[in-house]
Structure 1
């Protein structure tokens, strides 16, 4: 099922409303100024028309940069005593300019704000990926409210070698019994031992009918995790 996220693209040449299309897993597409873009993360959107139209956009390693991407994602929130409430996650990703050979961009800032029942819950400055941003939002919610999305699901996990801005979240719903036994990275009960049996990769805000809230008994830890000072 394809989701459509309303959004906006802004750079020094102007601003326009756009729509992002996604399968919720590893594909994001949009059209900006008549040019079709595609990528698996918002900071990796490349032009599908071959040579990037440099006169209309700025690029770094083939991906858009020097711009602001904004979009809205529906995200349900389970509230004890009130059932599931419809929330909206408004996201703003500022992609800076190339910092030099082998140095990436000079800025990449993610701001996420959950709008729920007339209230706003925003992630702290300085967090640069969806995992940290959504953990922070969950910590700001009332204790009775819990995000209902893949990032907070008992069957999801990131690769121990790291992950990017978004997506790349492994779902283990088809091997639940084995995933429950994971107690580390290596060994017969390590995450690497079952990694090749994952069901699929998903985005943090995706959701399926086998969702269960992540608790303290999970290998990746509870959602939200408690930051160490």
Structure 2
């Protein structure tokens, strides 16, 4: 895996805004400092204060995680361009986290928007999404020019999700050390189901990460099938 990445970004809430930098290991750790307070989480919608206690600086929390705010950050996003090879684009992300809706009710809303910037063009997902899986799937299927393919873990031949579902990000299982077994996966249950190989996963990764084992996903492979997924008929 590559070294830690530093994503330039911004934090905004009703008390103001601040330029920040998010540190990501590409797996299940994201860290940043906001108003002098150090935060960490395995996902952008699960950033909690490292000290464990509510900080003195003004923030809003739900189950210990930041909310009632806007998080913005930029991720380097390699793409494969037909006839040109690998190019580097930029993925701008904006995550709106609503205020707590009440006891046992979660947040009022959670909305993710992305923009891929390549060669002076902006490819914007105009609908809000609940996960990076959905946002990047729509970006690849509907918005990118023909011949341009995302080069990231979400589009890799060796990645899959649990049938139990996944959150906003970082729940993507990588099977790069069990390729032969994963090639046989064709569903959920049975000797060639995802549950039969699940314990052999290498690690969990973020959808936007990339390693040297990357291969473009082709056909209806694994449990989750193709990337981008087939549109509903």
TM-score, normalised by the number of residues in structure 1: 0.97
* 1:30 CA drift (Å): 0.2
When the two chains are superposed, the root-mean-square deviation of aligned CA atoms in Å is: 1.0
Contiguous gaps of at least 5 residues in structure 1:
none
Matches within 5 A, 1:113-192: 113-139=115-141, 140-192=143-195
Report what 2:9 is aligned to: 7
- Partners of 1:50 and 1:26 in 2: CA distance: 18
- Partners of 2:56 and 2:228 in 1: CA distance: 42
Report what 1:227 is aligned to: 231
* 1:55 CA drift (Å): 4.9
* Contact 1:4–1:20 (8 Å) recurs in 2: yes
- Partners of 1:103 and 1:212 in 2: CA distance: 40
* Contact 1:124–1:136 (8 Å) recurs in 2: no
Count of residue pairs brought into register by the alignment: 229
- Partners of 1:217 and 1:166 in 2: CA distance: 22
Report whether the alignment pairs 1:198 with 2:222: no
- Write the deviation string for residues 97-117 of structure 1: whole angstroms up to 9, x where unpaired: 000111100011100100011
- Partners of 1:50 and 1:211 in 2: CA distance: 37
Report whether the alignment pairs 1:56 with 2:58: yes
Could you list the runs of 4 or more consecutive aligned residues of structure 1 that deviate by over 2 angstroms after TM superposition? none
* 1:226 CA drift (Å): 2.2
TM-score, normalised by the number of residues in structure 2: 0.96
- Partners of 2:112 and 2:79 in 1: CA distance: 21
